[in-house]
Amino acid sequence: MESRRIRRIRFQYRALHDVVIAYVAGTLATESDIAALYEEFETYFTTRFPGRKKDLIIELSKFHFSARIADSFGRFRDSVLRNFTVRCYRVKQSMHQRSFMYTRSVLSGTPANDYPSVDDALNALLDDRRRR
């Protein structure tokens, strides 16, 4: 069975709130899928915002990854968060993804959250900025 691989991420920059929203679709099944996804993030952030990290909202309702590559995916996730983001808010994760995220958060100290909509995530981001 051939996997549906990541074919693209649709990035949207909302200047009013200075936040990047990434809509990710597809399935990660191999190490090369992870490398390709990282390259998309790297290209977008280093081209559009060289030397600057941004807040990120990532919509995941059409995204999946294979349990076989969970460890590598965790390292990928940690790298994206460390290299390109100030804060990250996740939207519409599957139960599998949420379980993985919370486990990874405990192990690596990365943030963990999940929101039902992009608007809810944006409101949480704005609340976090006000508190800081």
Domain boundaries, the chain: 8-131
- 67-115 pLDDT, tens digit per residue, is 899 889 888 988 999 999 999 999 999 888 888 888 888 887 777 899 9
Classify domain 8-131 at the CATH topology level: Transcription Regulator spoIIAA (3.30.750)
pLDDT at 2: 47
3-state SS, one letter per residue, for 29-92:
CCHHHHHHHHHHHHHHHHHHCCCCCEEEEEEEEEEEECHHHHHHHHHHHHHHHHHHEEEEEEEC
pLDDT at 100 (0 to 100):
84
Q: How many CB atoms neighbour CB 67 within 10 A?
A: 9
pLDDT by residue (tens digit) across 21-70?
A: 999 998 899 999 999 999 999 999 999 999 999 999 999 999 998 989 98
